[in-house]
Amino acid sequence: MTVLQSDEDDWSRARAADDRAFGNLFERHHPRVFRHALRLVVLPAEADEVMASAFLELWRRRNDVRLVDGSVLPWLLVTATHLSRNRVRGMVRYQRVLSRLPREEAEDAADTATDSLERLELRRQISAALRQVSAIDAALVTLTVLDGLSTAEAGAAVGLAPGAARMRLSRARGRLRALLDDAHEPASQPRLVKGPAS
């Protein structure tokens, strides 16, 4: 279980438009928010944008943000999860458009780094699976599995009582496991239909 450092003093001053206090919060939490985003986006370069957007939202919505155990980190992680899901959805739409355009194949396409492609494919499958569960379930999974928050802390971050969070997290993990298993199953071979004997 992760012990959350108290942000209450800095947060109180940041809400009163103290730039230095907000800077303290950024310095304290931006590495963790970046690592969280890095696990959720398809392209690693997008993690910086997600992290920056999460802090921008924290500033913009500072009068509505709920602290969890005195920390803004869970709120930032939930927000980064939502932003990442939105970016992946946008990326999927963009890739569909690109796939319809004619393009030249590189001569050395056969020499493409297989390892890199497999990692990208795994990220894509995880992102696709997370998009198929609700935003709250995706946040619960990412906060507990990727960021080490307890179920109670993750539940508080998304506004759920501990019992409800445990139940939803259990169901969400089962659903994600099934979705990822389905993504790894090889396509079934078509069966040959025998005609009448001649």
Q: For each of the chain's 198 residues, which pLDDT tens digit applies?
A: 555 678 999 999 999 988 899 999 999 999 999 999 988 887 777 888 899 999 999 998 988 898 998 999 999 999 999 888 877 655 555 455 545 555 544 444 444 445 555 666 667 777 777 778 888 888 888 888 777 788 888 888 888 888 888 888 888 888 878 877 776 555 444 444 444 554
pTM: 0.56
Helix 8-15 and helix 19-40, axial crossing angle in degrees, nearest 10? 110
Which domains, and CATH codes, for the chain? 8-98+121-135 (1.10.1740.10)
